[in-house]
Structure 1
Amino acid sequence: MPVFALLLIAVVAELAVIIAVGQAVGALWTILLLIAVSMAGVALLRRQGTRTLTAFADALRNRRDPSPEMADGMLIGAAGALVLFPGFVSDIAALLLLFPPTRAVVRKRLLARAAARARVVRHDVVDGEVVADDPIVIDAPVIEPRRD
C-alpha cells in the first residue's frame, strides 16, 4: 500500500476520533485532552530518550551488542514523530512505543525480522582485477626525509 494511502487513512482516523471525542465531552475538553496527551508524550519521550542514550553508551563502553538500544532509539524516534502528529490515535500509538514493556515487544519482533532478513541476504564474491587504461601521474615534489 502506498505511503500516501496510509497517511490518508491515518488522517481520516484521527479526524473521526477527534470528532467522536468532541461530541462526547465537548470541544474545549477535547482540545485540553489533546494538549495533555501530547505534553505527557513529550515528557515521556525525553525521559525514555535519555535512558536509552545512557544504555547505549553503557553497551558501547562494556563492549556488548548495542542493537537493542539502537532499536529502542529508533522506536523512540518514531514515537516522537507520532507525538508531533496531532490526534488521539497517533498519541496513543506513541505512548505505547514509549512505554518500555510494549516497546520491548515491538523491539523483539523488529530485531527478529531484521535477523531473518540478514540470513536471507546472499554475499556473492566475484574474483577479478582492476586494470587502469591510463595510469594517473601526479606531479608532486619529492620530499626527502630529514637526517639529523
Structure 2
Amino acid sequence: MTTGVPTSTAPRRRSPARTFLPLAVAAWLVLEIWLLGLVADAGGALAVAAVLAAGLVLGVVVIKRAGRRAFRNLTDTFQQAQQGRPPTGRQPGTGTSGNGMTMLAGLLLIVPGLLSDLAALLLLVPPVRAWIGRRTARTLERRMAAAPSGSFADAFQQARIHYPDGKVVQGEVIREDHPQRPEPDAGHRPPLAP
C-alpha cells in the first residue's frame, strides 16, 4: 500500500556536528587532563584539589543564586496575574534573561577542569551572557523554522503560534462531563478497601 508520500532511498547525510562532536569532546577531555597535570606539576596535588573544590563550591553558589532569582521572578509573575495585572516580564536591572545561562555557568564550574571553569567565568560576564543568549535564541528559531512537518520542533513551533491581533485570553477550562466529587469531611475517612 502506498501512501502517496515520496520516500528517498538515499542514505541521510550525517550533520557535521554529529561527526565532529565526539572528537571535540575527546580533545576537550585530553586538554583538561593535561592542564590539570600542569597545575599538579607546578603546585602539587593539593593545588589541584583546591582548584577543583573551589570550582565545585562556586558552581553550587552560582546555581543556587540563579535558581532563587528564577523562583522569585516566577512568584512575582504569579502574584501579578492573581492581582489582575498583566505580567510585566523582564524588569530592568534584574537580569532575568540570563538565568539559564547563569545555571549553565554554574554547571560548568562544577564539572572538574580548568577549561570548563574558564568558559563558566566567561558566561558569568553579563555582556557575554547576553550575546550568547541572543545567538542561541536566533539559532534555535532558525532551526525550528526549517524543521520538517511532523517533527518535534514543528509541534513546538505550532504551540507557540499567537493570534495575529496579539490578544491573549486568560481563562480556566472546566470539564462538565465528569461529576464533581463532594469534599470529604475532616473527621470522615474513606475505607481502605472497597
Place the TM-score, normalised by the shorter chain, in its bin. Answer: 0.5 to 0.7
Q: What do you get for the CA RMSD once the two structures are aligned?
A: 3.1
Q: Does 1:32 align with 2:72?
A: no
Structure 1 residues 45 and 82 mapped into 2: Cα distance closer, same or farther (>3 Å)?
same
Q: Does 1:18 align with 2:36?
A: yes
Structure 1 residues 98 and 45 mapped into 2: Cα distance closer, same or farther (>3 Å)?
farther
Residue in structure 1 matched with residue 66 of structure 2 by the alignment? 48
Equivalent position to 1:116, from 142, 151, 159: 142
Structure showing greater relative contact order (alpha-carbon pairs closer than 8 Å, 6 or more residues apart) = 1
8 Å Cα contact 2:109/2:116 also seen in 1: yes
Structure 2: distance between partners of 1:98 and 1:55: 19
Structure 1: distance between partners of 2:131 and 2:45: 35
8 Å Cα contact 1:38/1:91 also seen in 2: no
Scaled by the length of structure 1, the TM-score of the pair is 0.62
8 Å Cα contact 2:59/2:107 also seen in 1: no
Structure 1 residues 58 and 13 mapped into 2: Cα distance closer, same or farther (>3 Å)?
farther
8 Å Cα contact 1:41/1:91 also seen in 2: no
Equivalent position to 2:117, from 88, 91, 109: 91
Structure 2: distance between partners of 1:6 and 1:81: 19
- How many equivalent residue pairs? 122
> Which stretches in structure 2 are left out of the alignment for 5+ residues?
1-18, 81-85, 151-194
Structure 1: distance between partners of 2:135 and 2:56: 27
Q: State the percentage of identical aligned residues.
A: 28
8 Å Cα contact 1:34/1:87 also seen in 2: yes
Point out the more displaced range, 82-91 or 13-22.
Answer: 82-91
Q: Does 1:6 align with 2:24?
A: yes
